[in-house]
Chain A
Amino acid sequence: MTDPPDIPEDVDAQAIAWVIRVGDPDFDEWKAFEAWLAESPAHATAYHAVATGEAEMVEALAADAPRPSVAPVPRPAWRRASWAGGALAASLVLMIGVASWQSSPESRVFETGPGRHSAIALADGSRITLNGNTRLTMRGDDERAIQLDRGEALFSVHHDAARPFSVTVAGATITDVGTIFNVVRETRATRVSVAEGAVIWNPTSEAVHVGPGQYLRAQDGSATLELARVEIGGVGGWTRGRLSYDGAPLETVAADVSRALGVAVTVAPGAARRPVRGVLRLDGGADSVVPRLGTLLGVRVKHEGGAWRLSPPP
């Protein structure tokens, strides 16, 4: 079916080569594998040792990756430039952009106020839902090139390989591969979570594949990206009045709650990194949601001057 593998001479190296080939879900050359095993008992022994040893190491690697950060992906140095640099680059893009946008008068800006949702139906059947306090810009000549200026949006994209759908956010580009995905721009980080299909994060540089049930978090200036698991049913849960978390820091949750409900929610430094697990229902308004968050997490909740503040328990 395929070319015969180049088999190295050393038995361990041969065993490694077979572990790789047999380990592929598509592998279907059992006769050739059997012939190699039958050549010498040392072959079977080496194969068993390598296959089980490798599986154990992979198990340990997978189990170690702390949730929610399953796989740190190193980033090329130029991507690590601090956000100050990024902002400069963005403003350059904007200056160039202004000229071309002027020649394209239909360039549209969509904006929602705090606590308001809005949906955009595109001509190709794709749909974008905007969370509160969100702004996105659509170039008049291309509905499939969206810029998320701030906030959060859920994209249900009609896939077209000839015309990829892309979202740019804080200098990064996300391209769809047939998809429902959610993008959030936080104060100093971008999060992308995928419910269906997949997206490619920065296809021309980092090219990280984010598949269903995964989320990627890019902290500005960080040397690595975080890839984590996310409950598929929870992606874009804010559109159905619920937010679900599997270890996200409290500051992220506070930002999500403020965006969804249109109230200021701040977190004391001592509680900002507390991991949150569970589902938070958004019904009943801020007056009941924020205190519920306090009970759920065992943090102190204070309401003063129209803003909510979460702090560590006394």
Chain B
Amino acid sequence: MELGNPFQDSLRFESRTLPCASVIFGATGDLTRRKLVPALYRLACERRLPPGFALLGTSRTPLTDDQFREKLRAAIPEFAPGLPVDGDMWRSFSSAFFYIPGDLKDPATYQRLAAKLSEIETRFETGGNVLFYLATQPSQYETAADGIGAAGLARGNGWRRLVIEKPFGHDVSSARELNARLQRIFPESEIYRIDHYLGKETVQNILAFRFANGIFEPLWNRRYVNHVQITAAEAIGVENRGAYYQEAGALSDMIQNHLLQIMATIGMEPTPVYVADAVRDERAKLLRSIRIMKPDEVALNAVAGQYGPARIGDSEVPGFRQEPGVRPDSRTETYAAVTLFVDNWRWAGVPFCLRTGKRLPRRVTDIAIHYSGAPHAPFAESNADNNGATPNLLIIRIQPEEGISMRFLSKEPGGGMRLRPVSMDFNYGASFGSQEASAYETLLLDAMRGDPTLYIRQDAVEASWAVVQPILEVWRNQSFGFPNYSAGTWGPAAADEMLARRGHVWRSP
């Protein structure tokens, strides 16, 4: 029987992570430089990485170990400002970085990786634990996974896990095909599909809010909820991702993954215990319960938009078609809004309105639960004009200023019974200070610890694609009058009309 660690102090020490090596494919790319290594280094500085941690990078660029270390060091000031890069800490951390140049299609690359991993296992006492991270183009996922499998790297003395980034396919069948290829090499339990939205503290807090408090859950159903709005707005354009974004679009890039995952977290049933598969089962069940749109329903329940040029403040902002790398006649949507229904007892008939877009007035992600009005309103006359909005609103703010607000009506001071909406606010900063954990830190650590709760399982991926695919297919054959919204506005008029048909209005977050 394995002995426990007698020195563990769960009250004060974080649960520990076993020593391991992380192999990053695409190690000279943007994701590694901007997200992965800064997150790993922050974990190291916070002393949350195991002492026997080693990083093995690979990509086609010929580099020595030292050049690789230097390349990553240079990225730290920009992407992890405030962390030291000249002292012992960085030297100690980066001394466990190694680099193997090679082509993903070349079996010799994997042989060299295997030899290095074997050396690392002995030198760092990793016990053979390896986390493979595919930070490559999605088109290379299968090649890399096949190479890992053919070299026998998917099995070893310790655990072997594979982390991949979205997109997980581009429709249901490609998602299934990708998964079938990956599952030939790794079992589903060792495949970690990352959606960084799920790593955000406030998204995780939705579960705590719903299931750790007794007062909200009774109101969390079709009897009380009129409709739900989920907004993920960005003020920036496509920046230097024009070429990529042109192939993806807002529906695939944001709604298919991030927003549907948030919707699943909002709508899922409670789990008896907080363990990975129980949580992922419930999320997947919710996604499978979303009604799939018929082609003739798409026009009524989905809106595509593309931003045009505008003057914002003192700046002339280009339209999407004027962005670098974007075709001047691009038909890609930079805005998408959909109204979805969940066919289950809890949510039957409740519209879930999801919208996302670029070049909207401000960067904000939030969820608004609009409650139905009182069954009889004795004060209706003095409160007739609520601009179409329901009086009671629960808002879960994900970014910025994470928190929760409840809006309700209150009597205005003075004579008569004049009502006015007021807000009761909970602000994270006001209760928990200004600590901010990066989603990648949370998720990387979870993968090393073997906790996939915040990762997306294959059935959820397929269910999400099943929801958006009919919309994508209709849009593919539809011509839009793009651009149909100006940069700096809340999207096309058609999105407002979509909600107006059910008597709703988008809130201004």
Tell whether A and B belong to one assembly: no
The residues of B with any CB-CB pair to A shorter than 8 Å are none
